[in-house]
Amino acid sequence: MLLNQKYEIFPTEDQKETLDCWLQYCRQTYNSALLDKQRMYKQSKTPYNRFDMQRQLKLDKEKHVFLKEMPSKPLQEVFIRLDKSFTNFFWREADYPKIKKYKDYNSMTFPQFGFKSNMIHRYAASFSENGKVTVGMLYSVSKGRYYQRI
């Protein structure tokens, strides 16, 4: 069963810069959440789940204006990715999650897009004139190449 297809997209230079910037925000959010999770566990042995991380993100957006420039769904998806990596670690299916370097974090997800309930109309993303995503999609960035999965 084919679940998705991958298409190469050709963004302008400004759009590439925006995508790279967003990707770095996701990577920084991932690393920050991982460090917070480790610190919380060492200090009080309390779990720090993705809902706690999302509450922290809301506070971070008030402090750091640059986080408001980015759509919230990819940042929230970072916490699901981190939660999944810990689940895989505890099930002994993967190594302990590590801090992601620039070269190691190369994709972000826009989960709210796909098919409408009637399975006919498909959501798609496009950049508006001001460089913002008006509707979203699943992006994958790989070695300077950009892809759209539908």
pLDDT in tens, 92-133: 998 999 999 988 888 887 766 555 554 444 455 555 556 555
List, in sequence order, every beta strand (DSSP E) within 18-144: 107-108, 126-127, 133-135, 138-142
Q: Which of 2-11, 33-42, 130-139 has the least mean pLDDT?
A: 130-139
Q: What is the mean pLDDT of residues 55-84?
A: 90
Alpha-carbon gap, residue 123 to 104, rounded angstroms = 28
135 vs 101 pLDDT, higher one: 101
Q: Tokens 């990596």: give the residue.
A: 85
Q: Measure Cα distances from 95 to 5, 78, 92 in Å.
A: 29, 18, 7
pLDDT reading at 42 higher than 80: yes
Task: Give the per-residue pLDDT at 147.
Answer: 59
Task: Give the per-residue pLDDT at 97.
Answer: 92
Q: What is the mean pLDDT of residues 49-77?
A: 89
pTM: 0.74
Position 54: which residue type? Q
User: Which residues are bridge partners to 9 per DSSP?
Assistant: 146
Task: Round the average pLDDT of the chain to a whole number and report it.
Answer: 78
Q: What is the mean pLDDT of residues 61-79?
A: 88
pLDDT reading at 23 higher than 70: yes
Task: Give the per-residue pLDDT at 12.
Answer: 85
Left, alpha or beta for 7 (phi > 0: left; psi -120 to 50: alpha)? beta
Alpha-carbon gap, residue 4 to 17, rounded angstroms = 26
Q: What is the mean pLDDT of residues 38-61?
A: 90
